């Protein structure tokens, strides 16, 4: 049989254990996108290059640094030019990428677990010139020139702390992604 002092000590230990468990649960991060704050990327294409910037509004973050990495892939279609300066359309899609751009967010930028994320732009560029066979030109007397780039996939990986993935979001279309692109997470 336990003495009254042992019972009081056991009760006190149980209360401390319950309090400590509740405190750690209250401090745990529960990241989520705010209403209307799911990731959207803006793709701006100009000839042989495309710039992709992603935004999101996140709540429930912890008090650690955050890393957001945007990766973009695509293809370019070239015109074929011969030695006489004649130009004809190329036939092949030349794969381009990936272009990867990390954005580091210091923990001091996260206010009360909230962050409006704006990534640094990921810039995908096609070579200005490719071989005749790459561009799908009639023969080796031609060269692929004047690329027109199309973005086909975007990936956004958010880590907190860096090394621990909390969101992995993406969008893809073989027809191309332009303007505002909503990502699925």
pLDDT tens for residues 125-174? Answer: 999 999 999 999 999 999 999 999 999 999 999 999 999 999 999 999 99
Per residue in 1-28, pLDDT tens? 554 444 433 444 444 344 443 333 334 4
| pLDDT of amino acid 1 | 55
Task: For residues 92 and 63, give the distance between their C-alpha atoms in angstroms, rounded to a whole number.
Answer: 49
C-alpha separations of 147 from 39, 70, 133 in Å: 29, 23, 15
| pLDDT of amino acid 47 | 86
The average pLDDT across 33-62 equals 97
Residue 167's DSSP bridge partners are 158
Q: What are the E-state strand segments in the chain?
A: 32-33, 40-46, 49-59, 66-82, 87-105, 115-118, 122-125, 142-159, 165-172, 179-182
Alpha helices in the chain (DSSP H): 4-27, 132-135
| pLDDT of amino acid 29 | 75
Q: Exposed, middle or buried: residue 12 (CB in 10 Å: 0-12, 13-18, 19+)?
A: exposed
Task: For residues 37 and 53, give the distance between their C-alpha atoms in angstroms, rounded to a whole number.
Answer: 15
Report pTM.
0.82
Architecture of domain 31-182: Sandwich (2.60)
Question: Residue 93, SS3?
Answer: strand
């Amino acid at each position: 049989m336990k003495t009254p002092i042992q019972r009081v000590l056991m009760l006190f230990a149980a209360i401390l254990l319950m309090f400590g468990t509740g405190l750690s649960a209250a401090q745990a991060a529960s990241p989520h996108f705010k209403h209307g704050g799911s990731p959207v990327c803006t793709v701006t294409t100009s000839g042989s290059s495309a710039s992709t910037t992603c935004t999101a509004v996140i709540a429930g973050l912890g008090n650690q640094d955050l890393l957001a990495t945007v990766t973009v892939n695509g293809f370019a279609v070239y015109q074929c030019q011969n030695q006489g300066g004649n130009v004809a359309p190329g036939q092949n899609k030349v794969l381009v990428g990936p272009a990867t751009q990390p954005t580091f967010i210091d923990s001091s930028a996260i206010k009360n677990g909230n962050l409006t994320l704006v990534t640094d732009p990921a810039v995908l560029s096609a070579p200005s010139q490719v071989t005749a066979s790459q561009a799908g030109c009639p023969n080796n007397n031609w060269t692929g020139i004047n690329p027109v780039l199309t973005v086909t996939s975007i990936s956004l990986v958010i880590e907190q702390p860096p090394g621990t993935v909390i969101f992995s979001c993406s969008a893809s279309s073989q027809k191309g992604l332009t303007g505002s692109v909503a990502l699925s997470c």
